[in-house]
Chain A
Amino acid sequence: MIVVKRKPFEEIKTMLKDYKKVLTLGCGTCVAVCLAGGEKEVGILNAELSMARKIDGNPIDLGATTLERQCDMEFLDELENVVDEYEALLSMACGAGIQFLAERYPNKPVLPAVDTTFIGANRDVGWYEEKCRSCGSCVLGWTGGICPVTMCAKGLYNGPCGGTDNGKCEIHQDQPCAWFMIYERLAAQGRLDLIMEFQPITAWQNQKPRTLVQPGYEKQKEAG
């Protein structure tokens, strides 16, 4: 899932300082699961904002809605009749949702209440670990299911480098060496030959936003 972190309160407050009527929008998918942007967090943020603004002598009127997903236009359409009542929209969705919301309602200021942090997995309640950098060319099949792009400080597709240090990365003793872990995992599975396979380099430069059309859907896309 996409993991987000709520922005510092002061930053959100500053963004909203010129608005008196704002709709806070939760998202019922990734950000709800990572306990940062679901219905409960919308309520908490609104309570905080409402208190702070009242104390500042500049009360704010806040609405609250949590959509199924902000990364689908159909769900954003549900706001059509209410958006006009507000001066600005405060989104607790990930960067994708926020941008889609801004695109759907181009006349409204759309503000982010969270920082989109990473694609990660849920270790325990409120505890997430980055697992994927969405590089676009997955090598997990060769690397024992451990992503070197995410876990290696250099993001090496072929490793380890000379900085591997008894299982640790040279950048910090708390940081395990991804390629050491990959070696251990493959060795345990008897698949060490894979580590000798050379993976072609990835062209990281000149990245532009990617568009993906799933196979089988090209025709539909063309047909509009």
Chain B
Amino acid sequence: MTDMKHTDMEEINIATDVLVLGGGLTGIKAASEIAGSGYKVILVEKDAELGSQKRPESLIGLEEEYKGLQDLEDKIKTDSNVEILTQASLVSAAGVTGDFIARLSKGEEVIEHNVGAIVVATAFATGALNEKYGLSPADNVLTQSQMDELLASEADKEKLANKAVAFLVGLGQEGNPLVLERVLRSVLALQEIDGCDVYIYAGELKVASNGLERMYKESREKGAVYFKLTEKPEIIENGKTISFFDTVARRDIEISPDFIVVEEELRADQLNEEIAEILRINVGPSGFLQNDNVHFFPVRSNREGIFVAGSTREISGLPSAWTDVENIAVEVRDLLGDGKKSVAKNKAVVDETKCVICLTCYRCCPHGAIYWGDKKAIISPVACQGCGICASECPMDAIQIGGFDDGAMNEEVKNGVVSGNGTPRIIAFCCQNSGFEAGEMADVFKLQLPDGLRMIKVPCAGKIDLDYILNAFVAGADGVMVMACHPGNCKSENGNTYAQWRVNDAYRMLEEVGLEKDRLCFVGTASNMGSGFSSIVVDMEKRINELGLSPLK
């Protein structure tokens, strides 16, 4: 079995400056942490001021942290390791990990920076949900943000004395701990005001976040009245009266609050999509910059050296955003080190005499590890993950992956089909992250495996060329299996998808040439599927026995 070994190493120099996009609370923290590790940071903010100038909604009740933030902001402003660019934005980002060329625009000026890593630290945006409750903006109808603003001003606060305030939460959208946290912080702040009564009309109360349960209990003890409802209450005269039928008291409960506060939805920053396009990173569900993929470490994007923090990747409160930042600081240190990096020479090698710079590899690489020079595609040894998707898509077979070159792979196939005792010869191309592990598990546990099964390890199912599949049949395989990770589980994002596409293409071809399609199969596997692997390959052998041995032998 070929093992992926990179014994031939070389040392390269990489840029160690770090670009941080977003000068909000998360960005400031990121700049401070990374500069603290000794790297120069360029902090880019679209607005005129950094984020902590504005009192952020999520900070009510976090006065200490807020104070700490202002200190941090002051600190980075005087730190010679931090260059702050306000009213600036990212225009383009060429190059790869360790050597990005970021072009930033500030007014008329375009500034170019060579950076080794990029941190995206955008904020979340809020959106009013008044319509969901049939409420129009009015003096008595406030959004959560408007309530936060009132509470942030000592003068405005007084308006709330001796008033009744009703909150609507978790009935206009799926509950969310951060949405609830904003409500609870307001509730607790209102309870400090003389004579202020608070009512909360809630659907689900999602308290799965640090301290929320405590805040909820505290507010109840202090007299907040919670109504747990399964549907929206009846709202009369644009919030003048709220009514619902209480199934315990068996009567209508009617309250006429002075103010009605409507929950807000939390959305991805609208800058995200533009940034993702420039940085060539994936946009996940609802505009956040990370896909649902179990293989991603929390702060990683699909590109090595581009990190996503806090609300850039999912709705985050300050504590979890800062945890992200601390993780990123560690990742940045690991990646950039002292600017010298030892990399494998043969991770992915482009043959200059064959490459036609068709850009297929550049466009297919899920890691954004490829760019091009005068004569050929260039694969960054720092950014490359060795998945081999590029090699299998290259129309000129110009890319070879260390430990998995085409010659060696075809040789393995040939050895695998040497006929034995008349049992079907089955070539199973197995992703090393899933199918191969499952197969080894089946072997170690002595589960049933066909005699003629030959597993061939690939770095990712994305490395399984269409011609590997076809040539296995040409060489005399009775069956060919492609064992990839389950959807959404691929370490290289879509290597399994490429493999599936190629198998579909191969089905069409087998039909054209007159070979039974059942001799080929695509299987989604996981590394812990030892017995599943066994039953799948045993089934395959059965199917082939029904078809008989290959006519191509």
Binding site for B on A (CB under 8 A): 9-10, 28-29, 32-36, 38-41, 43-44, 47-52, 54-56, 66, 122, 124-125
Contacts and interface: CB of A to CB of B under 8 A. Distances in A.
23 contacts: A9-B509, A28-B354, A28-B396, A32-B396, A33-B395, A35-B395, A38-B397, A40-B395, A40-B396, A47-B467, A47-B471, A47-B473, A47-B474, A48-B509, A48-B512, A49-B513, A51-B470, A51-B513, A51-B514, A51-B515, A54-B551, A122-B358, A125-B360
A85 B470 CA distance: 25
B362 to A, nearest CB: 10
Give chain A's interface secondary structure class: helix
Given A9-B512, A40-B395, 9 more contacts: A9-B509, A33-B356, A35-B395, A40-B396, A40-B466, A44-B467, A48-B509, A51-B510, A124-B363
B552 interface: yes
The 8 closest A-B pairs by CB, nearest first: A38-B395, A47-B470, A52-B513, A33-B358, A9-B512, A51-B513, A43-B467, A38-B396
Contact of A55 (B354, B356, B515): B515
B515 A39 contact: no
A55 B466 contact: no
A38 B398 CA distance: 10
Nearest to B475: A47
A28 B396 CA distance: 7
Contacts of B552: 51, 54-55
B510 to A, nearest CB: 8
A50 B474 contact: yes
Contacts of A36: 395
B254 to A, nearest CB: 55
B394 interface: yes
Contacts of B551: 54-55
Nearest to A35: B395
Interface string B70-107: 00000000000000000000000000000000000000
B393 interface: yes
Interface string B324-357: 0000000000000000000000000000001010
Given A44-B467, A55-B552, A29 B356 contact: yes
B473 A51 contact: yes
B396 A39 contact: yes
B280 to A, nearest CB: 13
B364 interface: yes
B513 A40 contact: no
B410 to A, nearest CB: 10
B359 interface: yes
B330 to A, nearest CB: 36
Interface in B245-277: none
Contact of A38 (B356, B364, B509, B514): B356
A122 B362 CA distance: 13
A83 B551 CA distance: 30
Contacts of B474: 47, 50-51
Nearest to B465: A40
A42 B358 CA distance: 17
B413 to A, nearest CB: 12
A40 B470 contact: no
